[in-house]
Structure 1
Amino acid sequence: MDNDRFCLTCKVPLAADDVAIYLKLVSRTDRKFLCLDCLGDKLKCGREPLEKLIAYYRQSGNCSLFR
């Protein structure tokens, strides 16, 4: 994943996990992404559930986005 990606809303630099969870939950075809905080606001769940999902996908090893 590119290091020069920034959140569409708040413009903070995005980590690979930010992009991966966005692709997993929102759209695999998007090229502009949200950080965990903004995505949590959009999905009305907050940041913590997204962090737990990231940890789950990393541990399961079944999703190629989180390898």
Structure 2
Amino acid sequence: MSQDRCKLCGRPLTGDEIAVYRRMVSRAAEQFLCVSCLAKEFGVSEALVYEKIEHFRAMGCTLFAGSGQATGNSGVRRT
């Protein structure tokens, strides 16, 4: 998974970014978008995408590993 990069901007992806793309776009996806590009594609804020990550994790969606907070590259929770 560490080799995965955003198919639009090329930024390395986190596990949560891959999981939210699979949850919202296609579980069979092999290429993904980072949160920034996914938000732009859907016409929503990055904050909303991070809220959805937390929502899906709280629902017990198995695509999201662990029970940690959604983080960006900096490791800081985004709100």
* TM-score, L = length of structure 1: 0.90
2:56 pairs with 1:60: no
The residue aligned with 1:48 is 47
Gaps of 5+ in 2: 66-79
Distance apart, 1:32 and its partner CA: 0.4
Q: 2:17 is matched by which residue type in structure 1?
A: D
State the Cα RMSD in Å.
0.9
* TM-score, L = length of structure 2: 0.78
**Percent identity of paired positions between Structure 1 and Structure 2:** 32
Runs of 4 or more off by more than 3 Å in structure 1?
A: none
Q: Give the length in aligned residue pairs.
A: 65
Gaps of 5+ in 1: none
Residues 17-67 of structure 1 deviation map (CA, whole Å, 9 limit, x = unaligned) = 000000000011110000000000000012111100111122222x11013
2:20 pairs with 1:17: no
